[in-house]
Chain A
Amino acid sequence: MTDWHSKTIKEMSIDLAKGEYSSEELTRHFLKRIEQHEPNLNSFISTFPEQAISLAQQSDEKRREGNSEPLLGIPIAHKDIFCTKGQRTTAGSNMLDNFISPYDATVVENLKTAGTINMGKANMDEFAMGSSNEHSAYGNTRNPWDLARVPGGSSGGSAAAVAAGLCAAATGTDTGGSIRQPAAFCGVTGLKPTYGRISRYGIIAFASSLDQAGPITRTAEDAAIMLEAMAGYDPKDSTSINQPVPSYSAKINDSIEGLKVGICKEYFTDGLDRNIEAAIQDAVKELEKLGAEISEVSLPNTKHAVPAYYVIAPAECSANLSRYDGVRFGHRCEDPADISDLIKRSRSEGFGEEVKSRIMVGTFALSAGYYDAYYRKAQQIRRLIKNDFLDAFKEVDLILGPTTPSPAFKIGEKSNDPVSMYLEDIYTISVNLAGLPAISLPAGMAQGLPVGMQLIGSHHSEAQLLNAAHQFQQQTDWHLKSPGLANAGTTEGKPL
């Protein structure tokens, strides 16, 4: 068995160019790994083996014709929240179990143009609502590091698939931490770009003002390659940013000597796991060795981020999910008595519990008489949080902290405690509220589980973030660690 799956995109791209192996061989290798490990991991909702092989053959043909795009022939997965033309796109929900998208999301189109091979659609929390993948209608994904634990969420399938070597990279979406938290739990690199950097067109909406797509990869360098392909102005998304996409890889090898890194003091409080705290302190030392200047910064409104988020995100989702009414597509109940029965029953049957509870919270928050107390207040807090960051970025270039307060938890552990589940996102949520870019990267181990470090940048600072993350990964080897993974049917873990 070869170790192609533990290579980076960058390495695969070089191998493909040299003819070490073809994209078809690489794709078949990943398909074989999917076959082996999927029964344990459940990281995919759909896979497209024949189509993947045919696309790989086409990309090999293109390579023979002289095409040498960095992503040509690279097998990836899309979170099942991205619409893919002619393919089932479920958003992890029974509501869309029968939904075949008539069009490609802009991100899907962009990555197709870049030459990637779409292996399948990754599992996720229903409509991206969740931090554990336990809210998927297609069964929870398991963490490749410990099959009894969650991979994080909502992009848990994407992170688990990359960590387990079932694809070279995967797309994810991040509304309150849904790329960074699973990346942290699964020991991979996850980037949430500036709001508007990547088009939202064709991404099934959860909370429109917070949703942002991004890559989940093995390394920061791979994230740069993926982001270059995914990003860009899209006239189909009014909130996408009309600015050219810089070459993120170009500056990745620059020295970070003199880079000002702020440690957010509000992130190191009681709820933080001690092992994670220790790992992050070690990571800070590594950055210092690279010449970074460390100081302390304060984001005083951090404690208000989770409550504000759990008003704004449900409010937006309550409207975004109104289109699932059983009239035009998606689940429709049997024998409706009238239109009201049709809508009520289709929605009651189609949505899972977490989605329903968020729709109800959001509906309440927007109701007459409560709007000012909840929605308007939350928007005010959002502005305060953004201002905290803007103030901090007058002092420092990047803000550093843990991605999550604890490592991956056991499946079922927090199922009956939504608040503790929501607190999983305490370090990630404020970034979405402020529309900032942030990256989570492996920075240590705690009880045999990966620890994620988060770097937060100012708006449009992806190049700087990726540069710092890449330099850290040149200095450390946490990102090179792979989970011991048992084949399906066996219970004993063995190193890959």
Chain B
Amino acid sequence: MSHLGEWEVVIGLEIHTQLSTQSKIFSGASTKFGAEPNTQACAIDLGMPGVLPVVNKEVYRKAVTFGLGIGAEINKRSVFDRKNYFYPDLPKGYQITQLESPIVMGGHVEIVLDDGTSKVINVTRAHLEEDAGKSLHENYHNQTGIDLNRAGTPLLEIVSEPEMRSAEEAVAYARYIHQLVTYLGVSDGNMSQGSLRCDANVSIRKHGQQELGTRTETKNVNSFRFLEAAINFEVERQIGILESGGRVIQETRLYDAVKNETRSMRSKETATDYRYFPEPDLLPIVIDDAYIDAVRAEMPELPAQRAVRFVEQYQLSEVDAALLSSNLDLANYFEEVTAICGDPKPASNWIRVELLGLLNRDDIEISESPLPSAQLGKLIQRILDDTISGKIGKQVFEALWQGVARDVDDYIAHEGLKQVSDSGELEAIVDKVIADNPAQVEQFRAGKTKLMGFFVGQIMKETQGKANPKQVNALVSSRLND
């Protein structure tokens, strides 16, 4: 933004990430996304009289994994609290969360900005809590539908210090957290299904001013693009208010992606008193050093570690290694393709140039790639072992992408794309081309060696591109130089 002038932007993010557990945080009900409403809500999720929560051990293993991933202190005795408020999709009338003793305290991440500079962002805390259900307002004729499938889904709320100074930094931080939680297997990171949602606390102040300005909290932003847009909108709105002599009101706002604006949800000045108190139905989560060490021992490789390994193990350039390790699914895809075709270089090239090009063009995640790693690996293998030419390879790639081809070998066989490497067959074709073009043969022998390409082209045409180019070159040159 060019017109910030004297204003400094201050951003802190609260990121809610859904932990990828099979069952809910306090019940055995499934967390699978997309089921029929209320089919994945048991008596506990419904807040039936008499039911009690029991902590799913998997959630604190994941929280500790995340904490270790950002170099945080793991709280060996973390406590659940009740946060009280009435809402129709909050079955118990309180949310079980962690207020005073969160499981993860401190920690930091290093973000890299587009201009190549890097910056450390400190994390204040990360705590466990349960998600609420959903209120559905459409198609209910003046009534509200309640879907409690999501109620009790485990969340890790990651709270940053207010250390980001632009939407770009905020997005880089959010992307880093997204990359980290997916890498660590803490969350599936599926943003369209709400697995990662950001609340952005935004305020502005004059450069050099010590105290923070009044902030607003824009809630539930579920894409990086929206996050950037929402912050930029909010910064401009606040500048507009302050420059016209107004006062920013501390409030909760909602981002409307259709209108690209944020609007007021409720004012903090009339905010609910959540009346937090320790959850008497649950004991504190007590963990010891042995537990933390065991989690540490099972920590998956972090993105930066993987990039270093890619350079060492596969001799990739640092830029390529960084790109291919930037996303867990992509990094796995690359290693799968390499394992099949046996050569990291073409694997890297095909993925970066061909595959990512199409994925970006069509806005598809690598995890949803229409081209499975096994097929791309086999395709590259067939080029390397001279079964097909590189040019035919691109044709097969296109067919796989479009779903015309399912299996590389079947497709090559079915379409007759195998290179003609049979020397007898090729010799016959070469002889025929030489016989058919006496004028060109004359010119070639008179010294116009550039015509080599013409003969090769004619032969490729005769073989519909299937002739092995190296072999063709050798044959033509031996015949013409006789």
Is B82 an interface position by the 8 A CB rule?
Answer: yes
Contacts of A208 in B (CB 8 A): 280-281
Could you tell me if B277 and A319 are in contact, using CB atoms closer than 8 angstroms? yes
Complex contact A319–B54 (CB within 8 A): no
Q: Which of A238, A315, A319, A339 contacts B52 (CB 8 A)?
A: A238
Task: Compute how far the CA of A367 lies from the CA of B88 in the bound complex, rounded to whole angstroms.
Answer: 22
A368 interfacial by beta-carbon distance below 8 Å: yes
Name the A residues within 8 Å of B273 (CB-CB): 367-368
User: B301 CB to closest chain A CB, in angstroms?
Assistant: 35
Q: Confirm or deny: B304 has a beta carbon within 8 angstroms of a beta carbon on chain A.
A: no
* Contact A322:B92 (CB < 8 A) given known A209-B280, A239-B281: yes
For residue A74, CB closer than 8 A to chain B, the reply is: no
Query: Do A323 and B54 touch across chains, with their CB atoms under 8 A apart?
Result: no
Taking CB atoms and an 8 Å cut-off, the chain A residues in 294-344 that contact chain B are 315-316, 318-319, 321-323, 325, 327-329, 339, 343
Tell me if B275 counts as interface (CB < 8 A to partner A): yes
* A102 interface residue per 8 A CB criterion: yes
Residues of B within 8 A of A375 (CB): 277
Instruction: Tell whether A371 is near chain B: CB-to-CB under 8 Å.
Output: yes
Q: Does A131 contact B (CB under 8 A)?
A: no
Question: Do A329 and B48 contact each other (CB < 8 Å), given the known contacts A319-B82, A323-B91, A367-B273?
Answer: yes
CB-CB under 8 A from A315, the residues of chain B are 277
Given known A-B contacts A201-B50, A203-B50, A236-B54, A103 and B277 have beta carbons under 8 A apart: no
**Per-position binary interface string of chain A over residues 245-268, scored 1 when its CB falls under 8 Å from any chain B CB and 0 otherwise:** 000000000000000000000000
Given A322-B84, A325-B88, A343-B86, A83:B49 Cβ within 8 A: yes
Closest to B144 in A: A339
The verdict on A381 contacting chain B, using a C-beta distance below 8 Å, is: no
Contacts of B283 in A (CB 8 A): 238-239
Q: Is the CB–CB distance between A323 and B47 below 8 Å?
A: yes
The reply to whether the CB of A180 lies closer than 8 angstroms to some CB of chain B is no
Task: List residues of chain B with CB within 8 A of the CB of A339.
Answer: 88, 144
Q: Name the residue of chain B whose CB is nearest to the CB of A368.
A: B273
Whether A366 and B275, one on each chain, are in contact in the complex, defined by CB atoms closer than 8 angstroms, is: yes
Instruction: Please judge, given known A-B contacts A204-B49, A328-B47, whether A323 and B93 are in contact too, CB under 8 Å.
Output: yes
Contact in complex: A322, B52 (CB < 8 Å): no
Q: Residue A363 at the B interface, CB < 8 A? A: yes
Q: Are A322 and B94 in contact (CB under 8 A)?
A: yes
**Chain B interface residue count, Cβ-Cβ cutoff 8 angstroms:** 29
In the bound complex, residues from chain A placing their C-beta under 8 Å from that of B144 are 339
> Taking the complex as formed, is B316 at the interface, i.e. its CB lies under 8 A from any CB of chain A?
no
A89 touches B49 (CB 8 A): yes
Q: Contact partner of A328 among B91, B94, B277, CB < 8 A?
A: B91
**CB-CB < 8 A to B441: which residues of A?**
none
Residue B299 CB within 8 A of the other chain: no
Bound Cα distance A327, B334 (Å) = 50
Say whether B281 contacts A83, CB under 8 Å. Answer: no
Cβ of A202 < 8 Å from any Cβ of B? yes
A238-B282, A327-B88, A371-B277 given; A319·B94 CB < 8 A: yes
Q: Can you name the residue of chain B whose Cβ is closest to the Cβ of A81?
A: B50
Q: A239-B281, A319-B84, A366-B275 are known contacts. Are A200 and B52 too (CB-CB below 8 A)? A: yes
A101 at the interface (CB under 8 A from B): yes
A202 nearest CB neighbor, chain B only: B50
**Is the CB of A395 closer than 8 A to any CB of chain B?**
no
In whole angstroms, how far apart are the Cα atoms of A203 and B50 in the complex?
Answer: 5
B256-280 Cβ-contact flags toward A at 8 Å (1 or 0):
0000000000000000010111001
In the complex the two chains form, what is the Cα distance from A327 to B54 in whole Å? Answer: 24
B51 at the interface (CB under 8 A from A): yes
Separation of A205 and B280 alpha carbons in the complex (Å): 11
A322:B46 contact, CB within 8 angstroms: no
Interface pair B49/A328, CB less than 8 Å apart: no
- The reply to whether B50 and A238 form a contact with Cβ atoms under 8 Å apart is no
A400 at the interface (CB under 8 A from B): no
A353 within 8 Å of B (CB atoms): no
Contacts of B43 in A (CB 8 A): 102-103
User: Does A12 touch B at the CB level, under 8 Å?
Assistant: no
Within 8 A of B (CB), among A91-113: 91, 96, 99, 101-103, 105
Known interface pairs A319-B82, A323-B92, A343-B86; A237-B52 also in contact (CB < 8 Å): yes
Output the least CB separation between B102 and chain A (Å).
19
Decide if B50 touches A204 in the complex (CB within 8 Å): yes
> Which parts of A66-84 form the interface with B (CB within 8 Å)?
82-83
Q: Which residues on A sit within 8 Å (CB–CB) of B47?
A: 323, 328
For residue A429, give the distance in angstroms from its CB to the closest CB of chain B.
17
- Which residue of chain A is the closest to B274 with respect to CB atoms? A368
B93 partner, pick from A82, A204, A207, A322, beta carbons under 8 A: A322
CA distance in complex: A352, B273 (Å): 25
Which residue on chain A has the smallest CB distance to residue B92? A323
Which residues of B (198-235) have their CB < 8 Å from a CB of A? none
Query: A208-B280, A238-B282 in contact; A83/B50 too (CB < 8 A)?
Result: yes
Q: Specify which chain A residues have a CB less than 8 angstroms from the CB of B48 in the assembled complex.
A: 83, 101-103, 329
Is A412 positioned at the interface, with any CB of B under 8 Å from its CB? no
Q: Is B434 an interface residue (CB 8 A)?
A: no
Q: Which of B19-63 contact A (CB under 8 A)?
A: 43, 46-55
Q: Does B146 contact A (CB under 8 A)?
A: yes
Q: Which of A96, A235, A328 has the most CB of B within 10 A?
A: A328
B147 to chain A, nearest CB (A): 12
A200 contacts which chain B residues (CB < 8 A)? Answer: 52
Indicate with 1 or 0, residue by residue over B52-82, a CB within 8 angstroms of chain A CB atoms: 1111000000000000000000000000001
Q: Which residue of B lies closest to A343 (CB)?
A: B86
- Shortest distance in angstroms between B376's beta carbon and chain A's nearest beta carbon? 47
Give Cα distance in the complex from A323 to B87, angstroms.
10
CB distance from B276 to the nearest CB of A (A): 8
Residues on the B chain within 8 Å of A82, using CB: 50
Residues in chain B near residue A363, CB distance under 8 A: 275
- CB distance B281 to A238 under 8 Å? yes
**A367 pairs with B275, CB closer than 8 A:** yes
The reply to whether B86 and A322 contact each other, CB–CB distance below 8 Å, is yes
Contact B49 A327 (CB under 8 A): no
Residue of B nearest to A323 (CB): B47
Chain B residues near A204: list those with CB within 8 A: 49-50
Q: Which of B46, B82, B273, B275 has the most CB of A within 10 A?
A: B275
CB distance from A370 to the nearest CB of B (A): 10
Partner of B277, one of A96, A201, A203, A366: A366
* A99→B47 CA distance, assembly (Å): 13
Closest approach, in angstroms, between the C-beta of B136 and any C-beta of chain A? Answer: 13
Interface string of B85-105 (1 = CB under 8 A from A): 010100111100000000000
Closest chain-B Cβ to A107's Cβ sits at a distance in Å of 10
CB within 8 Å for A201 and B52 given contacts A319-B82, A327-B146, A328-B46: yes
- The smallest C-beta distance from A426 to any residue of chain B, in angstroms, reads 23
Q: How far is the CA of A91 from the CA of B50 in the complex (A)?
A: 10
CB distance from B422 to the nearest CB of A (A): 71
25 contacts between A and B (CB under 8 A): A82-B50, A83-B49, A89-B49, A201-B52, A204-B50, A205-B281, A208-B280, A236-B52, A238-B53, A238-B54, A238-B281, A239-B283, A316-B277, A316-B280, A319-B84, A319-B92, A319-B94, A323-B47, A323-B93, A327-B146, A329-B46, A329-B48, A363-B275, A367-B275, A368-B273
8 closest A-B pairs by CB: A322-B93, A208-B280, A366-B275, A209-B280, A323-B47, A202-B50, A204-B49, A83-B50
Please give the residue numbers on chain B whose beta carbons come within 8 Å of chain A beta carbons, in ascending order: 43, 46-55, 82, 84, 86, 88, 91-94, 144, 146, 273, 275-277, 280-283
Known contacts A103-B48, A201-B52; 14 additional CB pairs below 8 A are A83-B50, A101-B48, A204-B49, A237-B52, A238-B282, A318-B84, A318-B275, A319-B92, A321-B93, A322-B93, A323-B91, A328-B91, A366-B275, A366-B277
